[in-house]
Chains A and B, each alone.
Chain A
Amino acid sequence: MNWKTFGAMLARDAHVARRNMIQLILQTFLQPLLFVFIFGRVMVGSGYMRADYKSLLLPGIIAISMVFTGIWAVAMPLIAEFQWTREIEDRLLSPINISWIAIEKVIAGMIQALVAGLVVIPMAWLVLRPGVDIRINQPVWFIAIIVLVAAFSAAGGLALGCSINQQHIGLMFGMVITPMIFFGCAYYPWSALNGFPILRWAVLINPLVYASEGLRGSLVPQFSHLPLVAVLAALLFFDVLLLLFGLRQFERKAVS
């Protein structure tokens, strides 16, 4: 393993992220903030939603921001670099095993997802306040969960970015990301699906469910949520699955 090469690639991604800072910020935070404002402020303020919905919503928004950011940060550059600009070729020729280039992308995506998650918390809190009741009783669980959520989003970005073509980006959002968000228990707890026996079990194949429920369990444990041990195990499972699949796809793209 060549750490100098790995570090230089991370430095390159950080440099590019710094250069595109404003674009990144808008892309990452505008949508969740609008959601928070409409659902948390307008709907609750006008009485259509209960007051404690604010607290219920916050973990879901964090989960969506993280997952969306991680997927976007890894998948979009990969799609463009492999298919259009081919700029990844220079890194494929650097003295390092090519799997590490994919892992570097995942690490960079994880960092962006973590930053997105950690920045959304105070921003959303500012928009929603007063009336948000966050209780981080077990910080270790919280850290473990956000790290695993970041990893699954970045590894998912790798898997998606190496599996679809440029002309199918729209389809990816329509067929994968949108259903994932709506069936991801982000805007409602999993227990809200009790009345939908089939859907209730079907959504469990959606990794976002564990992200939302896990963050709910570690930030606002007063609401019902999936057991954190199950959440951790499921997230770990998806992390490994998506990473292995993503690495395989990456290699198939990189070497003919």
Chain B
Amino acid sequence: MKSGESLIYCRNLIFNCLRTPMNVGVRTKDLRKVYTSAPPLGAAGGFVARADARGSKQPKSEIIALDGLSLEVNPGEIFGLLGPNGAGKSTTVGVLTTRVRPTSGQAWVGEHEVWNEQAAVKYLIGVVPQRPNLDFSLTAREILIFHAAYFGIGAKQRNERADALLEKFKLTDRANQMVRGFSGGMMQRLSIARAMMHDPQVLFLDEPSAGLDPQTRILLWEVIREYNQSGKTILLTTHYMEEADALCRRLAIIDHGRMIALGAPAELKSSIPGGFLLRLRFRSLSPALLERLQSLSGVREVRSADSLGVDVYADRGGSLIGEVASAAAGERSDLLDVRISEPSLENLFLHHTGRSLRD
């Protein structure tokens, strides 16, 4: 290499190093995770019982948490993982944040392969865990300051950032108190502030609004949107469809470690036949009654849920009930219970899995 060339090469190298990486995406390929004991720390979002010394004497059971999950989160989008408890959401976040070693498959944050370039990945990510894990030996402000120090941020800058984030999350007046006495909402706010301290390109939020009061939830949503508007990628897990609906540009619905649907919330909802879901219960159920229900106008799909229950997907909701009741009477049955829900992600989940999100 000539000296002129090498100069340009060096300049480009320095430029590339100094340039803050913008718009970092996240990708996984055929991710599989099998736990041979209860999922520990990193993966278990919160309240999963852990295998202890006594448990290890029992024969090991295998739990498949992720079963070949491939997903791609585009740079700069808010992406939601929606699914019931135990679907594999937290394990996915665990793998992407270096806390869970995948059994097979790969995961990338930006261009970095998570398992092989852990330190590089950790610079790019911020993590808000499902259960607060704040440092109980420190005050709120110290938690932010030390977090920034772990990331090599200088004293002046970390003080400024801490003050700004404390202000933003309405924690300034509690800044110098130990966090032991904080309420759940305050801890959650501080956890998010901490995750933002090193200005990560990708923010992971695991069930961010679980247990929050409505006011704090709205503050949280605002903060997430604002952070996203500065070009940051956000991956959140939730089992609240309202949250997924309100925040996410795209959603992956996962269950048993597999993706069962992917798309924008509106797209996903419009993919449900009809949109309205009527969950019906009858005194008795005959094939003839199912046929009559199917023939009612506006009914798109009829599924028997169990021996007495039927799920009807239809274009309309309440106006169908009278006809359903007379159909039941015509077949010498009785309509006992009706639940109508409007087009929602909950219905989508139910449609794909036959189970409710909250089951």
Question: Which residues of A approach B to under 8 Å, CB–CB?
Answer: 2, 4-5, 8-9, 11-12, 15-16, 19-20, 82, 85-98, 164-165, 167-168, 253-256
Cα distance A8–B135 in the bound complex, in angstroms: 14
Interface majority SS (helix, strand, loop, mixed), chain B: loop
Taking the closest CB of chain A, its distance from the CB of B228, in whole angstroms, is: 21
With A89-B133, A97-B119 known to touch, is A255 a contact of B100 (CB < 8 Å)?
yes
Do the beta carbons of A9 and B99 come within 8 Å of each other?
A: no
Interface majority SS (helix, strand, loop, mixed), chain A: helix
Interface string of B74-100 (1 = CB under 8 A from A): 000000000000000000001001111
- Interface status of B35 (Cβ within 8 A of chain A): yes
Set of chain B residues within 8 Å of A5, measured between Cβ atoms? 150-152
The residue that B142 contacts in the complex, of A15, A168, A256, with Cβ under 8 A, is A15
Do the beta carbons of A95 and B53 come within 8 Å of each other?
A: no
Interface string of B11-50 (1 = CB under 8 A from A): 0000000000000000000000001000111110000000
Do the beta carbons of A85 and B133 come within 8 Å of each other?
A: yes
Set of chain B residues within 8 Å of A12, measured between Cβ atoms? 135, 138, 146, 149
Cα distance A19–B99 in the bound complex, in angstroms: 30
Cα distance A93–B98 in the bound complex, in angstroms: 8
Task: With CB as the reference atom, state the residue of chain A lying closest to B136.
Answer: A85
Task: With CB as the reference atom, state the residue of chain B lying closest to A171.
Answer: B53
The residue that B147 contacts in the complex, of A19, A90, A96, with Cβ under 8 A, is A90
Set of chain A residues within 8 Å of B97, measured between Cβ atoms? 93
Question: Which residues of B approach A to under 8 Å, CB–CB?
Answer: 35, 39-43, 52-53, 94, 97-101, 118-120, 122-123, 125, 127, 129, 131, 133-138, 142-143, 146-147, 149-152, 194
Do the beta carbons of A86 and B133 come within 8 Å of each other?
A: yes
Do the beta carbons of B41 and A82 come within 8 Å of each other?
A: yes
Taking the closest CB of chain B, its distance from the CB of A18, in whole angstroms, is: 11
Do the beta carbons of B150 and A256 come within 8 Å of each other?
A: no
Set of chain A residues within 8 Å of B122, measured between Cβ atoms? 93-96
Cα distance A50–B357 in the bound complex, in angstroms: 77
14 A-B pairs with CB atoms under 8 Å apart are: A12-B135, A12-B146, A20-B137, A85-B135, A87-B135, A89-B41, A89-B129, A90-B194, A93-B125, A95-B122, A96-B122, A164-B53, A255-B100, A256-B35
Which 3 pairs, one residue from A and one from B, show the smallest C-beta to C-beta distance? Answer: A8-B149, A94-B150, A86-B133
